[in-house]
Copies of this chain bind each other. A is one copy, B any other.
Amino acid sequence: MKAVSERKQQITSTAERLFNQKGYLATSVRDLAEALGIEAASLYSHVQSKEELLWSIADRCADEFFDAVRPIAESNLHTQQKLTEMIVAHVMVITRNQDASAVFFREWKHLSEPQKSQYAQRQSDYEGIFKAVIRKGMEENLFKNFDEGFSARTILSAINWTHTWYRPDGEWTARQVGEHLSGFLLNGLIRTI
């Protein structure tokens, strides 16, 4: 069974790369099979459809974001430190999964219903974790009174973009990128008077 699971993993990572580079709609099962050096028929013995792959990539990536960020949000850290660590953790998920996170951010909209709505709900729940911590910081008079949805979206937008420019061989480690980003963003959010 190990070989089967390895092949499945290979199919998934190839799909992540092609869905990111070409887009989900423009990637055919034939493209996937060619990139894997196998027959399309053989591919279908591992996955039922292209959409099953899109779902499994997006769903696994969502799991990684929740698993990395939720324990920090639920911890006893000071609110500012908490938001910093959530940003760092989020960036580290992206840098570990650059192709998959591109699919997570952009390609999920091509899912069919009901998956598409379930997925939008998960994204909204995830944003909600950030909103709750930001709201807490506002209540503690630590963060400025920006709308919490606006603040969460601005932070996530600034940090999500790392999937387009982060290079593992670049000057900064993933943690350093996250710390720089949180330094930049949080000092815009923390009350200075």
Main secondary structure of the interface of A (DSSP, over half): helix
Contact between chains at B150 and A161 (CB < 8 Å):
no
Interface-centre pick from A23, A25, A106, A186 (highest chain B CB count, 10 A) = A23
Contact between chains at B188 and A185 (CB < 8 Å):
yes
- Chain B residues with Cβ under 8 A from A158's Cβ? 154-155, 157-158, 161
Q: Number of A interface residues, CB 8 Å?
A: 29
Partner of A25, one of B26, B146, B165, B181: B26
Contact between chains at B192 and A192 (CB < 8 Å):
yes
CB-contacts of A170-190 with B (<8 A):
180-181, 183-189
Judge if A2 is at the interface, Cβ distance under 8 Å: no
CB-contacts of A123-149 with B (<8 A):
144, 146
Contact between chains at A165 and B146 (CB < 8 Å):
no
Judge if A151 is at the interface, Cβ distance under 8 Å: yes
CA distance A24 to B155 in the complex (A): 28
Closest partner residue, chain B, to A158 (CB atom): B158
- Chain B residues with Cβ under 8 A from A165's Cβ? 153
CA distance A189 to B187 in the complex (A): 7
- Chain B residues with Cβ under 8 A from A24's Cβ? 23, 26
Contact between chains at A180 and B146 (CB < 8 Å):
yes
Judge if A78 is at the interface, Cβ distance under 8 Å: no
- Chain B residues with Cβ under 8 A from A144's Cβ? 187
Which 8 residue pairs of A and B lie closest in terms of their CB atoms, listed nearest first?
A188-B188, A25-B26, A157-B161, A23-B23, A158-B158, A26-B26, A187-B188, A192-B192
* 18 A–B contacts, CB within 8 A, in A order: A23-B23, A23-B26, A25-B26, A26-B26, A106-B106, A144-B187, A153-B161, A153-B165, A154-B158, A157-B157, A157-B159, A157-B160, A157-B161, A161-B161, A184-B185, A184-B188, A187-B188, A192-B192
